[in-house]
Structure 1
């Protein structure tokens, strides 16, 4: 099994670096990965907080290489999830 957390995620639609995989979601019934979770840039209201994270459906993954994961996301707003900075 390969380690996804060491791979950088890049959107092929705009060549934007989204970050590194922080976690994955999977379907417990069949064990298949459903989403990649990529923490976004740091939050201004806390040193360790995050302003947002990207929840990328695994169907949008185009290719997994040795160092990077290429995804095709046409609208980043569709995969952004706000984080709470408390």
Structure 2
């Protein structure tokens, strides 16, 4: 099993296999107090009418594959977790 640092992961594009949409590059990782990875965080798209974008929180179980240059995820259109800040993250999906 290959090991990756956050520096390695943040250079890879995140692709949603459901719709083929590129979500950008990782900007953060959310851990529990025991060190378990909960979410990868990708920046949301900024809109003309919003000054700040909502982050996309990708649950660990939705990460399908970490490849050489991409991270494949599976997020249904109805269930991307989008929050303004970490306080808004649901405890467990």
What is the TM-score when the length of structure 2 is the normalising length?
Answer: 0.72
The structural deviation recorded for 1:4 is 1.3
| Structure 1 ranges of 4+ moved more than 6 A | none
- Does structure 2 conserve the Cα–Cα contact (< 8 Å) formed by 1:44 and 1:51? no
Secondary structure of 1:59's counterpart equals: helix
2:68 to 60, 66, 71: 66
Higher relative contact order (CA 8 A, sep 6+): 1
Structure 1: segments with no counterpart, 5+ residues: none
Q: Is residue 41 from structure 1 mapped to residue 39 from structure 2 by the alignment?
A: no
Q: Is residue 27 from structure 1 mapped to residue 35 from structure 2 by the alignment?
A: no
Structure 1 or 2: larger strand share? 1
Over aligned residue pairs, what C-alpha RMSD do you find? 2.1
Q: Matched residue pairs, number?
A: 80
> Which digits, 9 at most, give the CA deviation of each residue in 1:38-72, with x for residues without a partner?
011235468xx532110110100010111110000
What is the TM-score when the length of structure 1 is the normalising length?
Answer: 0.77
